[in-house]
Structure 1
Amino acid sequence: MRLITTLFFIMTLELSSQSPKFSFSRTAIEVVSDVSQSVIKVYKGTFKNSQEINNRKSIIGNINRQGNRFTFSPLLPFQVETNYTVVFNNMYYEFSIPLESNYKILSVKNLYPNSSELPSNLLKWYVEFSKPVNPTNIYDHIFLIDNKTQKKVDRALLPLETPLLSNDGKLLTIWVEPGRQKRDLGPNKRLGKVLEIGESYTLKIDGNLKDAKGIPMKSDFRFTFKVSEADRTQPNINNWKFDLPKANTKNALIIHLNDILDYGSLTHNLTVFDNDNKHIEGVFTIDSNNKKVMFSPINQWKSKTYILKCNKLIEDVAGNNLERLFDRDVQKENLAPTLERSFSIN
């Protein structure tokens, strides 16, 4: 006797008085049966007979028996909204664990940079997700599309073996193939640069990319931009403009950048001190897409002079940092960069 029935999360089904009872959760399958000896096997997918599961590997798990109750515990929890087939006593049963009605689906919260025009020597993007993402094969879901041909650009993005994710799993770094973006390297000579000036491209993240619980985004994310001339100018903090707060307030210091700088390199690379070299505690808010950084102090500003100190590794979206150009003449001597700006609060 071979039967197939769809069963749902935390539901129990009894097919007939001779058939076993099944109950399911993400972490276990329980079977109540009077069969003296039997084995539970679980397969990912929907199958109706032994021919269909021939040569397929069953899910790894542990089987425990207490009286007439058999329990199968998978090594990893069952994925939500995925079909599985249980084989028990030569009978086949399909089940699927539904998604909670109030579950918040993964989405892209922000992208840096997201300007409508980006330089042809763009080096990387940062994708901020609404929740932690699953790092497994993550780059298989991210593409650069040539809008003229509507085809994927080969070797455009660097598929790292270990994805560059923040500690909380929400911020992903995507590198545009550096070997193609930097002149005179082998990939650049053989394949040319990734982005052609004047052309239009779309960064696509497909809806199959999953969150840390294995639930996909379901809808694609697309960002379309046009390519401008290469940026081969170093950023210079002397060109930044400050909106100064008043003394005896906790209002934010607003720093207007003269360029769209690299989001990641700005993070944790700015500090504020007073003229006695005392570190001023506070929070930096990076809004690189709008060419702006804000510093909110924990304590009130005093009427005195302060110093903004910058790490030399702060760079623009083409990889040019405060110390040197990304794509440079290595024989040319670099000038010492400006790494500090003073400002007075009144």
Structure 2
Amino acid sequence: MFEARRENGREPPRSDRTERSDRTDRTDRTERSDRAERFDRVERVERVERAEGFGAEPVYRGPQVIELTGGEGHALDDLAGRDLADAVAGILSTFDRNAGAVSLRQIAETAQRRGRLAGDVQLVQSQVAAAVRADNARRTAAGQRPRFRFAGGRIALTDWLLPGDLARLEQEALAAVERYRDAARRAFARKLSELPGHAFVEICVLALERIGLGQLRAVRRAGAPGGESHFSGALRTAGDEIKLALVIRRDGREVGRERVTELRGSLHHYGPATAGWILTAGQMLSGAREEAAIPGTAPISLFDGLAVARLCEDNDVAVLRARLPVAIPDVDLLEALRAS
């Protein structure tokens, strides 16, 4: 009876059961071996990371160079001033800070390898050196921390000598200050729009005088809109004077395309003038900006409420300067003392 049930239930022969059991054992052993190997690899990586994090000598992995395509950005020798300094800072940020300062030749060769160098390598090194020194002077005059350390023909970022959290907090503070500055400028623009017409004109004239605009004379034109004040003037530059026609809207209304076209066609009534400026506490419509940007015509500059606020802000007109001093380490002095 028992043997019959086993046949009806089609129980597999004993040899088949043994073969499947062998295969299962081999699979289990392989999986256990793989898990053990992965565990060993993870444990080795964690030991290295713990060693680096607790004061041991860091593992030097070589320069961390981010390869860029040749079409990204301008050539290094096509830039100047702040833009060139920004490009140099971007190149330096791809190097390993543990390797120390980078030579001028390395910077030029890196730019050349990325297709961002069109001229002579030696000339670019001189340009980079001048741009780095000028950027440090610019930031020092503005009360900001210099970006570069430059000595012996080698350049390093000052960020490399600061703790990571300090550099991060500095970036967050600068971003917050920029948002604060933008909000203050918008509030200033709203206050300007609330001024009586004659008061707004006087604020604009004071700001224009601060930037070097002189010989201001009122121009009375028949048929001119009643909400405008017209002036002629001369903007003094380094080597010449530019005769300007000025239109200041006292009513704070927006400026459209027709007003730009009308001023461009009437410059001969202002001295004669070779360029025109329009200032308002209101907005500049897109048509006005398109008309002012037409190439091959007399230049017309447009100042809306925010632009007038920035003009006053840059020249200390109707604003108060607020400062928040922060003491930061003088890394150059401290490094020099440590080396001595």
Q: TM-score range by the shorter chain?
A: under 0.3
Using the size of structure 2 for normalisation, the TM-score is: 0.21
Name which one, 1 or 2, has greater alpha-carbon Rg.
2
**Higher RCO (CA < 8 A, seq sep 6+):** 1
Report which of the two has the higher share of helix. Answer: 2
Using the size of structure 1 for normalisation, the TM-score is: 0.21
Report which of the two has the higher share of strand. Answer: 1
